Chains A and B, each alone.
Chain A
Amino acid sequence: MMTGRATRFEEVQVGESLPPLHKTVSVEQIRRYAQASGDHNPIHLDQAFARSAGLPGVIAHGMLTMAFVNQMVTDWLGDRRTVRSLRGRFAGMVLPGDRVTCRGSVKAKDQSAGRLTLELSAENQRGEAVFTKGIADVEFHRAE
């Protein structure tokens, strides 16, 4: 499947893939995300607490994974202003050291509205799904 490098709405094809985005998550990044978002839940920050809650250790915020998926979309659009909706399911935990790959493709194109529906997902380095059933509705008018 071709990877989308379309520069005009007319060139976008249903079925084309967005360039994938890779992110390796560290303890430091989870701390920075907690600081920036205000979410200091100890399951993200405190190893002993996370283990006592039955987790393998601290886990990344689901919303950090969704931020990666969102970035893949806005990098492709070249614009953070034209995402109309975004949704998805946190299907698996992301642990420090995991390499997350975000993927997306164009599912539908509404010519008259100038809108695209994207299908989105993310997986870890073992190919296990961490984000599924992702859908975004976007306007595509890529900046030159």
Chain B
Amino acid sequence: MTDRRFRGRTYETGPFEVTEESIRAYMRATGDEREEPDLVAPPTYAMVYGFDAYWQLWTDPEVALDTAHLVHGEQRFTFHRPVRPGDQLRTTGRIADISARASMEFVDFDLSSTDVQGHLVSEATALFVIRSPQ
């Protein structure tokens, strides 16, 4: 059982430099390769530039989430502007809630990503579900 005292804990990523190569690798991997005049990242690329915040949560030795039994339950994004090569984005993740119901545990994780000017680029909420191994 994850300790509820970790509610409110935050994780900061270093600057993620968005490159054309990284956007194109994501487009190839997902099969979303339609060309547009203006190369912008597919909106769900937010998972890529924010990924280190998720990784820090999943590998935090104190919180010690049971990641072998963790599944992604829900995801929400709000996009404030398109992301392009050259963007440098920092993401802050925050454990918004930890709760339990029946044999399931739920972790709500809020994220916000900003550019070098400090302007919000996107926000997200992920809900993770941990199924009890019994």
Chain A interfacial positions (CB closer than 8 Å to B): 23, 29, 32-33, 35-39, 41, 43, 49, 52-54, 61-64, 66-68, 70-71, 74-75, 78-81, 83-90, 133, 143
Contact = CB atoms under 8 A, between A and B. Distances in A.
Contacts of A143: 36-37
A32 B44 contact: no
B18 to A, nearest CB: 13
A36 B71 contact: no
B82 A87 contact: no
Given A85-B76, A87-B74, A71 B25 contact: no
27 contacts: A29-B29, A32-B28, A32-B29, A36-B30, A36-B48, A37-B29, A37-B51, A38-B48, A39-B51, A43-B68, A53-B68, A53-B69, A54-B131, A63-B75, A66-B44, A67-B30, A67-B42, A68-B31, A71-B42, A78-B36, A81-B40, A84-B78, A86-B77, A87-B76, A88-B74, A90-B71, A133-B74
A54 B133 contact: yes
A36 B43 contact: no
B75 A87 contact: yes
A95 to B, nearest CB: 13
A88 B30 contact: no
Nearest to B82: A81
Chain B: interface residue count, which band? 35 or more
A33 B42 CA distance: 14
A46 to B, nearest CB: 11
A32 to B, nearest CB: 4
A133 B75 CA distance: 11
Interface of B: 22, 25-26, 28-32, 34, 36-38, 40-44, 47-48, 51-52, 54-55, 58, 67-69, 71-79, 82, 131, 133
Contacts of A88: 74-75
Contacts of A84: 78-79
A36 B55 contact: no
Contacts of B55: 38-39
Given A79-B36, A88-B75, 17 more contacts: A29-B31, A33-B29, A36-B28, A36-B29, A38-B48, A38-B55, A63-B44, A63-B47, A67-B42, A80-B42, A80-B82, A85-B76, A86-B44, A87-B74, A87-B76, A89-B74, A90-B73
A71 B75 contact: no
Nearest to B127: A89
A30 to B, nearest CB: 9
B39 to A, nearest CB: 9
Contact of B72 (A32, A62, A78): A62
